[in-house]
Structure 1
């Protein structure tokens, strides 16, 4: 049996990242249904809000303040009827996380997008490449220079470039020039 320990006060203080959370309703349109440049934020008195059907008109947002006084990377948790979005204006690490019924998607500071789907498959899209790990373990990789594939069991692999095809299959190894 694993013993669960509670961190001491000193250990808790070292790990503290967030200090407070406040819920707001963000009204993106005024009473005449005109789009606002900046949403009007209103804190509901009871801390409860229903989720509007159109997040472009109204959103429920929880603003989580950082515990580090030198850090300005507060986090916004936006509650939409079909997904939850966590975002921050970070120059490094992650900038946003979206959770819906089928996937969790993370946007990194360099605009790389990582999507983890409900079936366990993963897609990573960067500025210069794209990688898919399928639910069965198959891997697909695309770059400017080549396409590569490996089956989930690791038995077969292939690579295609503009001028060559190379593969390891059940039947052996193939490496030849591509026909144009």
Structure 2
């Protein structure tokens, strides 16, 4: 046994693919989707997830914990979901970003390399050029990527440090 396999623990025990049908054969909307496990493990990805969706349920190895993960396969994104008590609750991957929900906060990594953290309406972002932005209900603060320029705007004043001087004035 190598060093890597000695340190590994089993997290997952099984995976099952399902197709969820949200309408009956007459076209009426169902309150709960009818789940069907395809025999060959293949499923088409429907263009409208509200009509039909394909997903995989990955069962946790510890059956006493509710740590199962759903992997939803959509035409424009892949979504991973699990119960909030487990740390991360969701991961969304599409052409433009990877987003992770952790303890009520969304962390997004966009295709240009920018990263943002959003919680309760507050945003902290590191832009692709390295600039940092903080936006809350009370303040908007920006620092340039090289750290040379900074500004802060509130409901009552504006202040900035720039290469050509310092500005501070009431609004």
Tell me the TM-score normalised to structure 2 length.
0.91
Indicate which of 129, 135, 155 corresponds to 2:128.
135
Checking the alignment, whether the CA contact within 8 Å between 1:162 and 1:178 is kept in structure 2 is no
Q: Does 1:165 align with 2:163?
A: no
- Report whether the alignment pairs 1:101 with 2:95: yes
- In the TM superposition, residue 109 of structure 1 has moved relative to its aligned partner by 3.4
Q: Is residue 55–residue 72 contact of structure 2 (8 Å, CA) maintained in 1? A: yes
Show CA shifts across 1:37-87 (max 9, x none): 111111111111111111111111100001112211211000111110101
- 2-structure distance, mates of 1:159, 1:40: 53
Contact 2:18 2:37 in 1 (8 A): yes
Q: CA deviation at 1:141?
A: 0.7
From 51, 54, 60, the equivalent of 2:48 is 54
Structure 1 residues 75-134: Cα deviation after superposition (integer angstroms, max 9, x where no partner): 100011111010112235221111111111122332x22221101112222104112221
Q: RMSD in angstroms over aligned alpha carbons?
A: 1.7
TM-score, normalised with respect to structure 1 = 0.87
Q: Distance in 2 between matches of 1:61 and 1:6?
A: 31
Moved over 3 A (4+): none
Cross-structure match for 2:23:
29
Q: Unaligned 5+ residue runs, structure 1?
A: none
Contact 1:26 1:59 in 2 (8 A): yes
Gaps of 5+ in 2: none
